[in-house]
Chain A
Amino acid sequence: MRRVAALLTTLTLLLASPAIGADGNAFESGVFEPPRAAPDFVLQGSHGSPVVLSKLRGKVVVLAFGFSYCPRICPVTLARLSEVFKNLGPAASEVQVLFVTVDPERDTADRLREFLQFFHPSFLGVTGDDEHLKAVRREYGILATKAASESKKLGYEVHHSSSIFLIDREGKLRVLVPFGRPPESISHDIKLLLAK
Chain B
Amino acid sequence: MSTVFRLRSLVLVGAVLTLGAITLASVVPIRFESREELFEIPRGTWARRMAGQNVDILPQEIRLVLGIRDILVLRNRDDVPQLFGPTLIMPGQTFRLPFDVASEYQFACTAHVNGQMTVIVEDALTSPWARLRWRVVRIVRRVARRQQGV
Per-position contact with B for A1-40: 1 when CB-CB < 8 Å, else 0? 1001001101110110001111101001111111010000
**CA of A173 to CA of B135, assembled, Å:** 36
Q: How many residues from B make CB contacts under 8 Å with A?
A: 38
B17 contact set on A, CB distance < 8 A: 4, 8
Contact partner of B93 (CB less than 8 A), chosen from A14, A19, A34, A165, is: A34
How distant is B40 from chain A, measured CB to nearest CB, in Å?
A: 14
The segment from A83-91, A112-120, A124-132, A136-144 found at the interface with B is: A136-144
Asked if residues B83 and A141 are in contact (CB atoms below 8 Å), the reply is yes
Q: Which residue of A lies closest to B103 (CB)?
A: A180
Q: Is A122 an interface residue (CB 8 A)?
A: no
Per-position contact with B for A161-191: 1 when CB-CB < 8 Å, else 0? 1110100000000001010111001000000
Given that A4-B14, A4-B18, A8-B17 are contacting pairs, would A143 and B86 also be in contact in the complex, using a CB cutoff of 8 Å? yes
Contact partner of A185 (CB less than 8 A), chosen from B21, B28, B100, is: B100
**CA of A99 to CA of B101, assembled, Å:** 26
Asked if residues B138 and A14 are in contact (CB atoms below 8 Å), the reply is yes
**CA of A142 to CA of B106, assembled, Å:** 15
Residues of chain B touching chain A, judged by Cβ–Cβ distance below 8 Å, are 10, 14, 17-18, 21, 24-25, 28, 31-36, 69, 71, 81, 83, 85-90, 92-98, 100-101, 108, 135, 138-139, 142
Residues of chain A touching chain B, judged by Cβ–Cβ distance below 8 Å, are 1, 4, 7-8, 10-12, 14-15, 19-23, 25, 28-34, 36, 139-143, 161-163, 165, 176, 178, 180-182, 185
Given contacts A10-B142, A32-B94, A33-B95, 19 further A-B contacts (CB under 8 A): A4-B14, A4-B18, A7-B21, A11-B21, A11-B24, A11-B135, A20-B34, A21-B33, A30-B98, A31-B97, A32-B89, A36-B90, A36-B93, A141-B87, A142-B86, A162-B86, A163-B87, A165-B87, A180-B101
